[in-house]
Structure 1
Amino acid sequence: MDYQQVFAISAAGMSVEHTRVDVAALNLANANTTQGSGGVRYQPLRVVATSLPASNSAGSFSARFDAEMARAQIGGGMPFSMPTAVIVPGDASPRRVYEPDNPFADNKGFIEYPGVNPAQEMIGMMGAMRAYEANVAAMNMEKTLVLRTLDLGGNQS
């Protein structure tokens, strides 16, 4: 495997985890907003990490594996697809709070906030940060191994 491909694996993982942290921060920032621009309530988001296009997701594991190996041999690329992050709307229902003095309250005095669970978002953010750190550690180890390999090759004179 080419050393650039090894670095690309860690970089793709860091990109996915960076997106997870950004989305969690966005959800936390909008947890107590009553409505956004245009009067629309904020819809919490979530990140789905995927490595296969939606059209190739059907079929057995062995069929997908064989297709990826054939693609790599023909195109000279990696024997697998790189992970990517897709941001999709969450399915949490809004949180109803009784606030009769709020100007956005309905006839019964309730207001709807986005269905963001701050504890769940913080746990997801911490997990994404740890995974990002693991990818950084892997990239640093890859760099060290490449430098040692180059040192070994340079001492053959």
Structure 2
Amino acid sequence: MTFDAIGIAGTALTVHRKWLDAVSDNLANVNTVRASADEAFRARYVIATEGEGTSGVYVSGAAYGDAAGRLVYEPDHPLADAEGYVRYPDIDMSAQMGQLITAQRGYQANAAVVDRARETYLAALQIGRS
């Protein structure tokens, strides 16, 4: 049972780490400017799927945001088109911050499960030595 807990929590740690990576990429590119004729930076969203039985959870893929982004009037920007528009990604920073907090707390919770399961296993080994 202890090894199952470590394995399951380990798969969740991987999912949360990949989720944190995606959110940090999205936040880092929230102000990435492109020419209006180009695609905007596309936010990445992790898709998690439960495994068979008690095998844990896994990243099954990624979904991407809209490449159209949003056009912003900035006539002085070097990438502005003839009408003065540039393209920004359509990323909601507050939603990304909420996801960041959720993913971080999930990671912390699963790390605590791994620590407690390891402590339980070590305690069982000590009992066996007595």
> Could you tell me which residue of structure 2 aligns to residue 45 of structure 1?
44
Matched residue type, 1:33? T
Q: How does 1:1-157 map to 2 (within 5 A)?
A: 1=1, 3-35=2-34, 39-52=38-51, 79-85=53-59, 86-91=61-66, 94-155=69-130
- How far is 1:123 from its partner? 1.4
Deviations 1:42-66 (A, max 9, x none): 11111111125xxxxxxxxxxxxxx
Partner of residue 74, structure 1:
none
Q: Which has the larger radius of gyration?
A: 1
Structure 2 CA distance for aligned equivalents of residues 120 and 21 of structure 1: 13
What one-letter code is carried by the residue in structure 2 that aligns with 1:89? Y
- Paired with 2:83 and 2:18, the residues of 1 have a C-alpha distance of 39
Q: Hey, which of these two has a bigger chunk of strand by percent? A: 2
**Alpha-carbon distance, 1:141 to partner:** 0.6
Q: Is the 8 A contact 1:13 1:135 kept in 2?
A: yes
Does the 8 Å CA contact 1:9/1:82 hold for their aligned counterparts?
A: yes
More helix per residue? 1
Q: Tell me, yes or no, if the aligned pair for 1:92 and 1:116 is still in contact at 8 Å.
A: no
TM-score for the superposition, normalised by structure 1: 0.71
TM-score (norm 2): 0.84
1:99 Cα offset (Å): 0.5
In structure 1, what is the Cα distance between the partners aligned to 2:43 and 2:104? Answer: 20
For residues 76-108 of structure 1, the C-alpha deviation after alignment (integer angstroms, 9 at most, x for no partner) is xxx334311222212485122211112322343
Shift of 1:30: 1.1
CA spacing shift, 1:120–1:32, aligned 2, 3 Å: same
